[in-house]
Chain A
């Protein structure tokens, strides 16, 4: 009897991730499926840990994790931090699982691997007949907000930071050590310390998002070798932007190491999220749009409690664009 069971288990394990059994977990309802983002479209999902209060739900969430993820979680210190770390894994697993519209994917069975540079990606590891979607993702979290960005065909990097985040070191000393000379100049010119702090945090999130989108770690793009700044763009008349000013500002990156090449290909958005966080998104432009200026990032934002509730919040007060060419959908 036991050999039969073990044979059946190994047979089950050999089947593809896709088209698995429908009952993922005895109590959790199915995830609401979502269509993949189209080209030049970005999906952004976030969870507010404070809204996830049910202990039984958190326990069910833990069951979705791989053994290694569970082990990592076990070693983490601090309840709030542990909770947001758990939600980060749950968010990435459930978000990716939503996009498998042809056959349902069990979020628990997703595997992840890292590129040679250490950037996480999905390990589809299936038979040759199945073509995995060209889906890219990136996650970021603080103890009070957990986010996952998704694109198709192009790399994405995101970073979220609490608006009230304070540095232990002095801002200008930190900037002189780690930011580019132009950025230091910009920050030094701000006389109000609170505004300076806010601009610092915004700049940090943009720089982080860029490095994460490029996906080669800090050594490939040390912070002080590139400058991120806003550049005013004349409205072409065809695009409608969400920024409040009559002239839109585009965020651009300029590299001192590589002045021509890489930097024209990246598009940024900076948002005030849920009133509490700055969120930066960086995606690579598709080749066809590479040279064209003024094309907005088409962005859809959902607030979610996986398996419980999804709320599309793009275009509401929860998502306030700060800079970058953005079209909320």
Chain B
């Protein structure tokens, strides 16, 4: 998944919008078409790299909120490091925890996550990106 994202981002501009804070590179044709269109314009927005995933990341506030919810759900001690790349499974989340986290995120952000998507959320970053995508869709 990360590799695919990296390739598409490098070849095509990942976002049409001037701000950096949107749009997950999802493996969907619609995003690819948008991306091609974006590349034809003269703009080439600067990309925020995230180690293996070259993409436009979710807003820091969203990531922060996700971290808070994860920390609360898993009752993590203060010294446990929690970053956008933190994997839920590595933090001790079992399937019930993950589903609870998704539910808390839905309530916090006023969105609904389809079950297929909730399976794909394995890190804080992925959760934040999906949230922003769904919030945007809802606003549209």
Contact = CB atoms under 8 A, between A and B. Distances in A.
Contacts of A167: 96, 100
A219 B91 contact: no
A174 interface: yes
Contacts of A72: 90
Given A177-B103, A218-B119, A75 B87 contact: yes
A81 to B, nearest CB: 4
Q: How large is the interface on A (under 10, 10 to 19, 20 to 34, 35 or more residues)?
A: 20 to 34
A223 B115 contact: yes
Contact of A169 (B80, B87, B100): B100
Contacts of A142: 94
Contacts of A174: 99-100, 103
A168 interface: yes
A206 B82 CA distance: 32
A28 interface: no
Classify the secondary structure of B's interface with A.
helix
A78 B80 CA distance: 8
Contacts of A168: 72-73, 100, 104
A132 interface: no
Interface string A54-80: 000000000000000000100111100
Contact of A219 (B72, B99, B116): B116
B87 A161 contact: no
Nearest to A222: B115
B91 A78 contact: yes
B37 interface: no
Given A76-B90, A77-B91, A77-B92, A218 B103 contact: no
Nearest to A140: B94
Interface string B81-110: 100000100111011100110011010000
B104 to A, nearest CB: 7
Q: Which of A78, A142, A165, A223 has the most CB of B within 10 A?
A: A78
A81 B72 contact: no
A183 interface: no
Interface string A157-186: 000010001011100011001100000000
B31 interface: no
A76 B96 contact: no
A142 B96 CA distance: 11
Contacts of A223: 115
A204 interface: yes
Contacts of B106: 177
Interface of B: 72-73, 76, 80-81, 87, 90-92, 94-96, 99-100, 103-104, 106, 115-116, 118-119
The 4 closest A-B pairs by CB, nearest first: A81-B92, A219-B116, A222-B115, A76-B90
